[in-house]
């Protein structure tokens, strides 16, 4: 099985201002960023010595970072291979999106009820900006993260934010963006606009329905992407 190395990061020199804790955090953030960006994906190995070399650090803080990532579900230990990015099976993905649909709908409902006019305007501006700025599927993936982060913050509900964070960690493991599927990129922009339009009218049920439709469309695209990758 192939081994895909994590791309090199800027070196972090050891010195009086650098301690094991900061190096461990740097290793944690490096590995997690590569997972979130899709530059390493399910089944890829994460090599302790490679990360240590990239950060110009000893293996001890890297090992600490990898233990933390394992505890959070970003890494799993496989016999004879070491630490790898976990693979989510079909049932796990079904369960993940089932909960994601519920949370997204509730987030939109809360935003329609609690968001300030300024927050609603910001969401609308994000959608309009995406029409101009987004050129590639990677651009859309970045915009999508910004839009949904702004949406969650506008719920003004700290417990929903915590729940979203847990599910987002699992979604990030899936890596490859669904915006490469068919015309998903432009459809997602239209779906974002429908969510914002419903929120602007303070129609909580319409906002929840628009958000549910958006997440269900994302799920269908994910299934198509998985089928394409398997074939």
Q: For position 73, what pLDDT does the model report?
A: 83
Per-residue pLDDT, 191? 98
Euclidean distance between CA atoms 57 and 68, whole angstroms: 17
At residue 134, does pLDDT exceed 80? Answer: yes
The rounded percent of the chain whose pLDDT value lies above 90 is 60
More confident site: 126 or 177? 126
Predicted local distance difference test score (pLDDT) of residue 165: 85
Following DSSP, what letter does each residue of the chain receive, concatenated?
----PPPP------STT--HHHHHHHHHHHHHHHHHHTSS-TT-B--HHHHHHHTT--HHHHHHHHHHHHHTTS-EEETTTEEEPPPP-HHHHHHHHHHHHHHHHHHHHHHHHH--HHHHHHHHHHHHHHHHH--SHHHHHHHHHHHHHHHHHTT--HHHHHHHHHHHHHHHHT-S-GGGSTTHHHHHHHHHHHHHHHHHTT-HHHHHHHHHHHHHHHHHHHHHHHHHHH-
Across 39-53, 93-107, 116-130, least confident range: 39-53
* Predicted local confidence at residue 38, as pLDDT: 67
Residue 14 pLDDT exceeds 80: no
Percent of the chain with pLDDT over 70: 91
- Domains recognised in the chain with CATH numbers: 20-84 (1.10.10.10), 90-230 (1.20.120.530)
Kindly report, residue by residue over 149-201, the tens digit of the pLDDT.
999 999 999 999 999 988 887 887 876 789 988 899 999 999 999 999 999 99
d(CA 45, CA 120): 42
Q: Measured between alpha carbons, how far is 207 from 159 in angstroms, rounded to an integer? A: 20
Q: What are the backbone dihedrals phi and psi of residue 13, each rounded to the nearest 5 degrees, phi first?
A: -75, 140
Q: What pLDDT score was predicted for residue 166?
A: 82
Neighbours of 13 (CB within 10 A): 9
Q: Are 66 and 75 in contact (CB under 8 A)?
A: yes
- Give the pLDDT band of residue 4 (cuts 50, 70, 90): low
Section 19-28 average pLDDT:
88
Residue 3: is its pLDDT beyond 70? no
């Amino acid at each position: 099985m192939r081994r895909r190395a994590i791309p090199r990061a800027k070196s972090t020199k050891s010195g009086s201002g650098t301690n094991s804790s900061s190096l461990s955090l740097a290793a944690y953030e490096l590995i997690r960023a590569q997972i979130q960006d899709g530059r390493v994906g399910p089944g890829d190995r994460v090599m302790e010595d490679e990360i240590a070399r990239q950060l110009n650090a000893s293996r001890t803080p890297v090992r600490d970072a990898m233990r933390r990532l394992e505890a959070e579900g970003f890494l799993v230990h496989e016999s004879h291979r070491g630490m790898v990015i976990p693979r989510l099976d079909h049932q796990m993905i079904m369960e993940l999106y089932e909960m994601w649909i519920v949370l997204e709908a509730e987030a939109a409902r809360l935003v329609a009820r609690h968001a300030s006019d300024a927050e609603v305007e910001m969401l609308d501006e994000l959608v309009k900006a995406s029409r101009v700025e987004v050129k590639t599927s990677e651009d859309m993936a970045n915009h999508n993260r910004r839009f949904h982060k702004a949406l969650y913050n506008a719920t003004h509900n700290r417990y929903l934010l915590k729940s979203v964070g847990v599910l987002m960690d699992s979604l990030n493991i899936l890596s490859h963006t669904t915006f490469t599927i068919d015309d998903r990129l432009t459809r997602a922009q239209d779906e974002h606009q429908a969510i914002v339009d419903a929120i602007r009218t303070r129609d909580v049920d319409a906002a929840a329905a628009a958000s549910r439709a958006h997440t269900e469309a994302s799920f269908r695209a994910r299934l198509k992407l998985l089928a394409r990758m398997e074939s």
